Structure 1
Amino acid sequence: MKPLSDVNLELLRVFRKTAQVGSMTEAARHLFITQSAVSHAVADLEAFTGCRLFLRAHRRLTLTAEGRAVLETAESIFSALEGGEEKLKVLRAQKTGLLRIGCPFLILQTILTPQLARFHRRHPEVEVRLTIENRMQPMLELLRSNRIDLLFLATPAPALLDPQLVEHCLGYYRYGFFASRENFGALEGRVLSLKELSELPVVILRPGNNTRDCLEKKFAEAGLRLRVSVETDTMAFTKEYTRAGFGIGAGLIPEPPLRIEDEPDLFRLQVDPPLPSGRYVALFRNDLELPQTAEVFLAQFQA
Structure 2
Amino acid sequence: MRGDRADQVNLNRLAVFAALVRAGSFTAAAIALGMTKAMVSQHLAKLERELGVTLLVRSTRRMSLTEAGATFHADCERLLAEAEAAIERVGTARDRPSGTLRLTASLDYGNAVVVPRLASFMRRYPAVQVDLVLSDHVSDVIAERFDLAIRGGWLRDSNLRATRLGGFRQLLVAAPAHLDEHGTPRRVDELAGRAAIAMSALSQPLRWTFTGRGGRRQTVRLRPVAQANSAAAVRGLVLAGVGIAVLPDYLVEDDLRAGRLVALLASLRLPEGGIHAVYPGPRAPAKVRAFIDHLQAAEG
What range describes the TM-score normalised by the shorter chain of this pair?
A: 0.5 to 0.7
What is the alpha-carbon distance in structure 2 between the residues aligned to residue 48 and residue 238 of structure 1? Answer: 71
CA RMSD of aligned residues (A): 4.6
Q: Deviations over 1:72-115 (max 9, x none)?
A: xxxxxxxxxxxx9xxx8xx69x9434221122324324432332
Does residue 302 (structure 1) correspond to residue 297 (structure 2)? The answer is: yes
Q: Report the identity percentage.
A: 20
Partner of 1:102: 104
User: Match for 1:147: what amino acid?
Assistant: R
User: Match for 2:134: what amino acid?
Assistant: I
Q: Does the Cα contact within 8 Å between 1:109 and 1:235 map onto a contact in 2?
A: no
Does residue 236 (structure 1) correspond to residue 236 (structure 2)? The answer is: no
What is the alpha-carbon distance in structure 2 between the residues aligned to residue 299 and residue 116 of structure 1? Answer: 9
* 1:71-220 map, 5 Å: 95-120=97-122, 122=124, 126-136=128-138, 139=139, 141-142=140-141, 144-145=142-143, 147-156=145-154, 161-162=157-158, 164-184=159-179, 192-206=186-200, 209-210=201-202, 213=204, 215-216=206-207, 218=209
Partner of 1:253: 249
Specify every segment of 5 or more residues in structure 1 that has no aligned partner in the other structure, as ranges: 9-46, 50-83
Shift of 1:128: 1.7
SS of alignment partner, residue 6 of structure 1: coil
What is the alpha-carbon distance in structure 1 between the residues aligned to residue 151 and residue 175 of structure 2? Answer: 27
Shift of 1:285: 2.7
SS of alignment partner, residue 270 of structure 1: coil
**Residues 192 and 215 of structure 1: CA distance in aligned 2, closer, same or farther (over 3 Å):** farther
User: Match for 2:106: what amino acid?
Assistant: P
Shift of 1:161: 3.7
**Residues 110 and 270 of structure 1: CA distance in aligned 2, closer, same or farther (over 3 Å):** farther
- Which of the two has higher C-alpha Rg? 2
Q: How many residues align?
A: 220
What is the alpha-carbon distance in structure 2 between the residues aligned to residue 165 and residue 204 of structure 1? Answer: 29
**TM-score of the superposed pair, with normalisation by structure 2:** 0.56
**Residues 192 and 97 of structure 1: CA distance in aligned 2, closer, same or farther (over 3 Å):** farther
What is the alpha-carbon distance in structure 2 between the residues aligned to residue 214 and residue 233 of structure 1? Answer: 10
User: Match for 2:101: what amino acid?
Assistant: L
Partner of 2:264: 269
Q: Which moved more, 1:191-200 or 1:166-175?
A: 191-200
Shift of 1:135: 4.2
What is the alpha-carbon distance in structure 2 between the residues aligned to residue 95 and residue 106 of structure 1? Answer: 27
What is the alpha-carbon distance in structure 2 between the residues aligned to residue 178 and residue 217 of structure 1? Answer: 13
Partner of 2:277: 282
Q: Does the Cα contact within 8 Å between 2:148 and 2:277 map onto a contact in 1?
A: yes
Partner of 1:292: 287
User: Match for 2:204: what amino acid?
Assistant: D
Q: Does the Cα contact within 8 Å between 2:9 and 2:51 map onto a contact in 1?
A: no
Shift of 1:149: 1.5
SS of alignment partner, residue 302 of structure 1: helix
